[in-house]
């Protein structure tokens, strides 16, 4: 899809969309179109239930003599609450409608309300971004789909008084969205396509953006004693890979990096503690945490962020092979702490224990954030609206909560106190990787906390957010790339240039 920012009044041969605020408060563009069509918009609204809620769509057949094929009224929500995210949600809903219609050309004419902090160029940029996010489609394996079933939207024109300013405002959004869409691809790929080595090969390609990429295979992991990670991988024929991405956008004067660590289980059968067959095919997205780390590091490099950052992606496959780790095994982690394996399907916390300590010990970062599709427990607690946030540092937690609100990737902080350590103490080792049925998301976070020392650290359990089974305004069914926009916003607001 080609995106262009054009002057108001530019001819729009296909569908043209104009915005209406909640309560039917018309934008200047809507009033102009209403006059030009002899009140067609007002008559259509009066004959419908359209009220201008965010993402609400009312399609109107273009009156005789109009220069467009159709007019779409799109709800912008409450005027006082209209911001960049609302603009993206409205544009995403608009994109979904147009993609289903078979239309090839879409023009959007929306102006911000008076007094809004969202100026014209940034509004145009967010509208374009919303369409791009929603227009994503993973269809590389669809070989028999009929042409009439495929979306045909090829050209998007955003009307803006200052097209050059809109293009400048769109550029950083586009680089982050490019990264998020690439992550959606990676997470959507089946396990026979994306496995530790092929993920590492994708990461190697990021050197073209200026990232330093280092791949540690089984031999190097053994030398460094990442035995908790190696134990998870030993039942698979695929060699584990620790992918290390470094971006030095602030140079020597930028000081210690901020570190991102991701769980990268490219397929999770559960190991010896094998999962039920029903739904196991979904476990291709158990590497979404590593995918998000891949994505944010790519985004930082693409927009030349003035920050030092490191990403660590711990890539394994968890399979019940003849050499698979057993329940009851004890592993000595890189930190020297020992972990009793109670459940081989609680593998993510084993992988992350070594990856976190590796990041902490080698890079001595000023902060660490890890992301993992770690527990079903967090979905029981929070459903599919918030990711779980655990932290040993209130400032970092508050920064992440704020970044979640501004990026639309929301977090909810859960408790992490010393009381929970009693639940994961082992009778024969330092820790056990399963504390029982209750508060499992907290138990997992409590174990991870033991491997970061005094470094400010936050753990994001994204199990409920990495994949969606229903369409959302800016996210179609499937992989969401949750975390890319969140962490990019965190860096921009709290670490970049500081």
195 and 126: one domain?
no
User: Could you tell me if residue 144 is inside a domain?
Assistant: yes
238 and 384: one domain?
yes
Res 65: pLDDT: 62
108 and 192: one domain?
no
| Range(s) of the domain holding residue 421 | 185-495
Q: How confident is the model at residue 37 (pLDDT cuts 50, 70, 90)?
A: confident
User: Could you tell me if residue 179 is inside a domain?
Assistant: no
Q: Which of 141, 159, 177 is the last residue of a domain?
A: 159
116 and 208: one domain?
no
In sequence order, the 6+-apart residues with CB closer than 8 A to the CB of 419 are none
213 and 132: one domain?
no
**Is residue 395 flagged as an active site residue?**
no
From the candidates 132, 298, 349, 489, which is the catalytic residue?
349
Res 215: pLDDT: 98
What mean pLDDT comes out for the span 303-312?
A: 97
What mean pLDDT comes out for the span 46-74?
A: 86
Enumerate the β-bridge partners of residue 106: 15, 156
User: Could you tell me if residue 170 is inside a domain?
Assistant: no
Q: Kindly report, residue by residue over 461-495, the tens digit of the pLDDT.
A: 999 999 999 999 999 999 999 999 999 999 999 99
* Gap between the Cα atoms of 128 and 166, Å rounded: 10
Number of domains in the chain: 2
120 and 225: one domain?
no
Taking a C-beta distance cutoff of 8 angstroms, is the pair 304, 328 a contact? Answer: no
* Gap between the Cα atoms of 496 and 266, Å rounded: 31
Q: Which pTM value belongs to this model?
A: 0.96
Res 28: pLDDT: 81
Report helix angle 288-302 to 163-188, nearest 10: 150
In sequence order, the 6+-apart residues with CB closer than 8 A to the CB of 302 are 175, 176, 178, 179, 209
Q: Which of 116, 21, 156 lies closest to 75, judged by CA?
A: 21
pLDDT at 19 over 70: yes
DSSP codes, 114-162: TT-SS-HHHHHHHHHHHHHHHT----TT--S--GGGS----EEEEE-S-
pLDDT at 67 over 80: no
Q: How confident is the model at residue 8 (pLDDT cuts 50, 70, 90)?
A: confident
Res 453: pLDDT: 97
Q: Kindly report, residue by residue over 170-206, the tens digit of the pLDDT.
A: 999 999 999 999 999 999 999 999 999 999 999 999 9
User: Could you tell me if residue 164 is inside a domain?
Assistant: no
We report the CATH number of the domain holding residue 416 as 3.40.630.10
We report the CATH number of the domain holding residue 55 as 3.40.220.10
* Gap between the Cα atoms of 174 and 171, Å rounded: 5
Specify the range with the lowest mean pLDDT, choosing from 61-75, 102-116, 304-318, 430-444.
61-75
Q: Which of 427, 425, 424 lies closest to 442, judged by CA?
A: 424
Q: Which of 142, 159, 176 is the last residue of a domain?
A: 159
Q: Kindly report, residue by residue over 106-153, the tens digit of the pLDDT.
A: 999 988 777 777 888 999 999 999 999 999 999 999 999 888 778 889
Q: How confident is the model at residue 26 (pLDDT cuts 50, 70, 90)?
A: confident
Res 311: pLDDT: 98
**Is residue 349 flagged as an active site residue?**
yes
| Mean pLDDT computed over every residue of the chain | 95
Res 163: pLDDT: 94
Q: How confident is the model at residue 64 (pLDDT cuts 50, 70, 90)?
A: low
* Gap between the Cα atoms of 397 and 401, Å rounded: 6
From the candidates 204, 218, 275, 366, which is the catalytic residue?
275
Res 11: pLDDT: 73
């Amino acid at each position: 899809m080609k995106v262009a920012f054009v002057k108001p009044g530019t001819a729009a041969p296909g569908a043209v969309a104009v915005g209406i605020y909640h309560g039917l408060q018309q934008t200047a563009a809507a009033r102009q179109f209403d006059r030009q069509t002899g009140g067609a918009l007002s008559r259509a609204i009066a004959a419908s239930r359209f009220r201008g809620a965010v993402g609400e769509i009312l399609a109107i057949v273009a009156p005789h003599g109009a220069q467009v094929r159709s007019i779409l009224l799109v709800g912008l929500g409450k005027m006082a609450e209209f911001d960049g995210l609302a603009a993206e949600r409205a544009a995403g809903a608009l994109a979904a409608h147009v993609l289903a219609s078979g239309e090839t050309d879409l023009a959007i004419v929306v102006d911000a309300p008076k007094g809004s902090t969202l100026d014209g160029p940034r509004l145009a940029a967010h509208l374009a971004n919303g369409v791009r996010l929603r227009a994503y489609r993973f269809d590389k394996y669809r070989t028999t789909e009929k042409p009439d079933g495929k979306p045909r939207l090829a050209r998007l024109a955003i009307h803006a008084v200052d097209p050059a300013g809109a293009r400048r405002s769109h550029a950083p959004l586009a680089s982050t969205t490019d990264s998020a869409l690439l992550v959606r691809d990676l997470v959507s790929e089946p396990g026979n396509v994306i496995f530790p080595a092929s993920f590492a090969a994708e990461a190697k390609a990021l050197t073209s953006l200026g990232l330093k990429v280092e791949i540690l295979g089984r031999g190097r992991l053994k030398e460094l004693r990442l035995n908790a990670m190696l134990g998870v991988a030993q039942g698979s024929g695929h060699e584990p890979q620790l992918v290390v991405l470094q971006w030095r956008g602030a140079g020597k004067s930028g000081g210690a990096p901020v570190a991102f660590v991701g769980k990268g289980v490219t397929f999770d059968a559960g190991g010896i503690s094998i999962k039920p067959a029903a739904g196991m095919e979904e476990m291709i997205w158990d590497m979404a945490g590593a995918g998000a780390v891949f994505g944010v590091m790519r985004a930082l490099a693409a927009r030349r962020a003035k920050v030092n950052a490191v990403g660590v992606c711990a890539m394994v496959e968890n399979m019940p092979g003849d050499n698979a780790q057993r329940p009851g095994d004890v592993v000595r982690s890189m930190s020297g702490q020992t972990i009793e394996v109670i459940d081989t399907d609680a593998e993510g916390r084993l992988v992350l224990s070594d990856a976190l300590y590796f990041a902490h010990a080698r890079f001595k970062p000023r902060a660490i954030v890890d992301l993992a599709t770690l527990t079903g427990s967090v979905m029981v607690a929070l459903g599919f609206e918030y990711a779980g946030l655990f932290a040993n540092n209130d400032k970092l937690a508050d920064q992440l909560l704020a970044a979640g609100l501004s990026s639309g990737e929301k977090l909810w902080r859960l408790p992490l106190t010393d009381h929970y350590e009693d639940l994961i103490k082992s009778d024969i080792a330092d820790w056990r990787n399963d504390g029982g049925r209750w508060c499992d998301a907290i138990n997992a976070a409590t174990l991870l906390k033991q491997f970061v020392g005094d470094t400010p650290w936050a753990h994001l359990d994204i199990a409920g957010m990495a994949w969606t089974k229903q369409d959302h305004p800016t996210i179609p069914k499937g992989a969401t790339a949750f975390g890319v926009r969140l962490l990019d916003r965190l860096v921009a607001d709290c670490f970049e240039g500081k």
